[in-house]
Amino acid sequence: MNSDNPKITTNQFTYTILNKLGEGSFGVVLKCENEQTNEIVAIKLQKSINNNELEMLNKMQGRNFKNLIKTYELYQKDDMYYIVMEYCKESLYDRILSQGKVKPDDVRFIMKAIGNGIKEIHDLGYAHRDIKPENILIFQKEDANNIQEIYKICDFGTIKNIDLLKTQYVGTAYYQAPEQLNNSNQYSQKVDIWAFGAVIYELLTQTTLFNGSTEDEVKQKILNITQSEIDQTINNQVNLDRKYKTLLLNMLQIDPNKRHDINKFVEDMKGQSQNVTRNQIQRITQPNQNQVNNFISDLPIPKDYQKQKNPQRSTCISNLPNPASLQKKK
C-alpha cells in the first residue's frame, strides 16, 4: 500500500515513511512503518546530537522507564542522526488544543506520570530543561479489551548532566525558571520543577502562568515577578482545590532552595493519593464520532492556545549572555 513512499534503512530495519509528525528546533519527526514487523514508529531526524543526549539515550538502552519515551535504535548516516522511537498518537499540547480543557482527574493522572518521568531523569543525573506540553506525549498501550494511556516525556535534545549544569539560556519562554534567565549560580535540576509547576498551573486554570505578546515580554514578567505576587496569583484561583494550591506554591518558588525537589513532589502526591489508575478507555464504550465532535465543539478553547507556532512556545538554546533588556531592573 505504501510501497511508493520513501524509506529509511538503518542497520536493523527498513522503515516506510508515512507522514510528518512534527518539526521543531532540532529536526523533523516522521511517522513510519517497520517493514519487517509492521510496527508503527516515530523517527526523529537531526543533523547533530549533543553528548549529553547521546549519553542519556545510551544509558536508557535496555532499561525500562515507565514515563520516558522509549528509543528503539539510534542510527547515523551521512551526517544525519535517526532516533527511532515508540510512536505516540498525540502530545499533551495536541490534547489541550482538541479538548480545550483537561479534566481535574486527568490532571492528577498527568501529574503523577510526569512527576515520575522527571524523577527517572533526575535519578539518572540529568536535568531535562524543556518540560512543556509539547514534550509530553500520550502513548497508547493496547491490551485485549482496552487501551491504556501513558503520559511520557520526550525530546532529550536539551538534556544536561547535572555536573555540567551552568547558566545557559535553554528552554521555552513560558516555562523558564527565573534562575535560568538571570545568570544566577543556582541553576540546578530544580528548573524542571518550576517548568512542571507552570504546566500544572496551566492545566488546572487553562491559562499560562506568564503571558505576553512577545518572548521578551514573557521573560521580563518572569524576571520581575515577586514571590508574594506568585503566591497571590495561585491563592486567588477560586476554583482550585487547596491541595493543588499548596503543591503549586511549593513548586513555583523563585528561590530554588525553597522549591521542592522531585522526591518531595512524589511524596506530596502520595500524601494525597486517590485512585489514579484511570485513563482506561474501554473500547466497547467509545462514543461514536458525532458524539465526540459535538462534545468537543461545546468545550471552551483557552484563548492562550493558538494553533500557529509562536516564539514563546519554541525551544531556545543559547550560550550568549542575556541581553541587557532581560536583566532584572534594580
Q: Is 191 in the site for ligand ADP (CB under 6 A)?
A: no
- Is residue 177 exposed (0-12), middle (13-18) or buried (19+ Cβ within 10 Å)? buried
**Interaction between residue 91 and ligand ADP (CB under 6 A):** yes
22 binds, among Mg ion, ligand ADP, none (CB under 5 to 8 A by kind): ligand ADP
Question: Hey, which residues between 230 and 269 contact ligand ADP (CB under 6 A)?
Answer: none
Asked whether position 44 contacts ligand ADP by CB under 6 A, the answer is: yes
- Which of Mg ion, ligand ADP, none has residue 42 at its interface (CB below 5 to 8 Å by kind)? ligand ADP
Q: Give the binding range for ligand ADP (CB under 6 A) out of 154-162, 243-251, 274-282, 317-325.
A: 154-162
Q: What is the dihedral of CA 261, 264, 269, 270, to 10 degrees?
A: 150
Choice from 155, 179, 192, 215 touching Mg ion (CB under 5 A): 155
* Interacting residues with ligand ADP between 8 and 37 (CB under 6 A): 21-22, 24-27, 29
Q: Which does 91 bind (CB under 5 to 8 A by kind): Mg ion, ligand ADP, none?
A: ligand ADP
What is the dihedral angle through the alpha carbons of 289, 149, 103, 263, rounded to the nearest 10 degrees? -170
Residue 135 in the binding site for Mg ion (CB under 5 A): yes
**Per CB under 6 A, which region of 74-82, 103-111, 131-139, 197-205 contacts ligand ADP?**
131-139
42 binds ligand ADP per the rule CB under 6 A? yes
Q: Based on the shown chain and the rule CB under 6 A, indicate whether residue 180 belongs to the binding site for ligand ADP.
A: no
Grid cell listed for 126:
540529568
Q: Is 44 annotated as a binding residue?
A: yes
Q: At residue 21, what is the residue type?
A: L
Give min distance, CB of 320 to ligand ADP, in A.
20
Residue nearest to Mg ion (CB): 155
Q: Is 302 exposed, middle or buried (0-12, 13-18, 19+ CB in 10 A)?
A: middle
**Window contacting ligand ADP (CB under 6 A); options: 32-40, 107-115, 130-138, 183-191:** 130-138
Element spanning 43, H or E:
strand 40-46
CA nearest 130: which of 240, 212, 50, 32?
A: 50
Can residue 158 be called a binding residue for Mg ion (CB under 5 A)?
no
Are 254 and 230 in contact by the 8 Å Cβ rule? The answer is yes
Q: Which class for 115: exposed (0-12), middle (13-18), buried (19 or more C-beta within 10 A)?
A: buried
What's the CA gap between 128 and 121, in Å, rounded? 7
# residues near ligand ADP by CB under 6 A: 21
What are the grid coordinates assigned to 39, written together? 510496527
> What CA–CA distance (Å, rounded) separates 7 from 282?
35
Q: How far is CA 235 from CA 106, 209, 239, in A?
A: 22, 13, 10
* Binding site listing for ATP: 44
Residues of the shown chain interacting with Mg ion in the complex, contacts defined by CB under 5 A: 24, 135, 155
Residues of the shown chain interacting with ligand ADP in the complex, contacts defined by CB under 6 A: 21-22, 24-27, 29, 42, 44, 69, 85, 87-88, 91, 134-135, 137, 154-155, 157, 315
